[in-house]
């Protein structure tokens, strides 16, 4: 029986949920880190205020630190809106998309012995000031994370994932297998196969639901950044 449009939408929603679950540890860390710094700064501030003689400069320094960390926390909370497809956003550049998504997943991939290699042309620091912005930043985040997860889950003994520009409006992600020597060293660290692996069908379902074109090959994914 062919899946109904509603069923296909639920499949894509399940894929998005799985991807958000994988990114959540990094998102949680980004929000928890400022809280830890604020708590420590408040403890030190209490001690300084309770001292017989108040060091105004030290107090001002602690207050400034707290204010800075509250700003970081607000940015982290607001970033959760970046995952809501129903909210219009300002779009995202190709280099920022790569930097944000790899920043979310690099630690998890490192733990599994998978290197992420970025083409220098995609580095945010060297991107041109007039770099095009692509609409629907939330959708593109899910798609890029989906491509990374697909290669991670589907390529046996994946050792690295290379990210490169493909023309003016696409990204190419290519997986390479690790050597037998390295595979033996990281065998114990590699996570067990997941029941919710992002396979080719899941990746294509996500792209179809979001309205983007992807080309899924055994060891690569090409993502077109323009919808349609």
pLDDT higher for 132 or 7? Answer: 132
Q: Reply yes or no on whether the pLDDT at 15 is more than 60.
A: yes
Q: Reply yes or no on whether the pLDDT at 187 is more than 50.
A: no
Does the predicted model carry a pTM greater than 0.85? Answer: no
The token pair at 145 is: 């994370």
Predicted local distance difference test score (pLDDT) of residue 191: 47
pLDDT band at 188 (very low <50, low <70, confident <90, very high): very low
| Spatial distance between the Cα atoms of 138 and 88, rounded to a whole number of angstroms | 9
DSSP 71-92: HHHHHHHHHGGGG-TTS----E
Predicted local distance difference test score (pLDDT) of residue 61: 87
Predicted local distance difference test score (pLDDT) of residue 77: 80
CA 151 to chain centre: 15
Predicted local distance difference test score (pLDDT) of residue 100: 92
CB 133 within 8 A of CB 93: yes
93 in helix, strand or coil? strand
Burial 110-132 (b: 16+ CB within 10 A, else e): eeebbebebeeebeeeebeeeee
Taking residues 164-168, report their average pLDDT. Answer: 93
* Residue whose tokens read 């990204």: 171
User: Comparing C-alpha atoms, which of 35, 31, 34 is closest to residue 76?
Assistant: 31
pLDDT higher for 32 or 206? Answer: 206
Q: Reply yes or no on whether the pLDDT at 186 is more than 80.
A: no
CB 212 within 8 A of CB 22: no
Name residues whose C-beta falls within 8 Å of residue 53's C-beta, 6 or more positions apart in sequence.
none
| Spatial distance between the Cα atoms of 48 and 87, rounded to a whole number of angstroms | 45
Taking residues 183-197, report their average pLDDT. Answer: 55
CB 170 within 8 A of CB 129: no
Predicted local distance difference test score (pLDDT) of residue 1: 40
Q: In the chain, what percentage of residues exceed pLDDT 70?
A: 90
Name residues whose C-beta falls within 8 Å of residue 13's C-beta, 6 or more positions apart in sequence.
209
Taking residues 56-77, report their average pLDDT. Answer: 86
Q: What is the pLDDT of residues 191-226, one digit of tens each?
A: 445 668 899 999 999 999 999 999 999 999 999 999
Other beta carbons within 10 angstroms of residue 88's beta carbon come to 10
Query: For 222, phi and psi rounded to 5 degrees?
Result: -110, 125
Predicted local distance difference test score (pLDDT) of residue 2: 55
């Amino acid at each position: 029986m062919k899946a109904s449009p509603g069923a296909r939408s639920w499949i894509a929603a399940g894929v998005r949920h799985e991807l958000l679950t994988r990114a959540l540890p990094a998102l949680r860390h980004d929000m928890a880190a400022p809280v830890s710094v604020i708590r420590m700064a408040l403890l030190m501030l209490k001690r300084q205020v309770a001292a017989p003689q108040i060091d105004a400069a030290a107090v001002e320094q602690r207050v400034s630190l707290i204010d800075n960390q509250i700003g970081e926390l607000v940015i982290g909370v607001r970033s959760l809106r970046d995952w809501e497809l129903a909210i219009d956003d300002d779009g995202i550049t190709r280099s920022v998309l790569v930097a944000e998504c790899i920043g979310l997943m690099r630690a998890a991939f490192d733990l599994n012995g998978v290197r992420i290699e970025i083409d220098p042309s995609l580095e945010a620091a060297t991107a041109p000031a007039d770099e095009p912005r692509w609409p629907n930043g939330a959708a593109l985040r899910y798609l890029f994370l989906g491509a990374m997860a697909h290669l991670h889950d589907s390529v046996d003994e994946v050792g690295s994932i290379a990210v490169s520009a493909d023309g003016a409006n696409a990204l190419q992600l290519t997986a390479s297998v690790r050597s037998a020597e390295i595979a033996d060293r990281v065998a114990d660290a590699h996570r067990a196969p997941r029941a919710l692996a992002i396979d080719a069908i899941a990746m294509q379902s996500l792209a179809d639901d979001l309205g983007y074109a992807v080309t899924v090959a055994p060891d690569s994914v090409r993502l077109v950044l323009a919808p349609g």
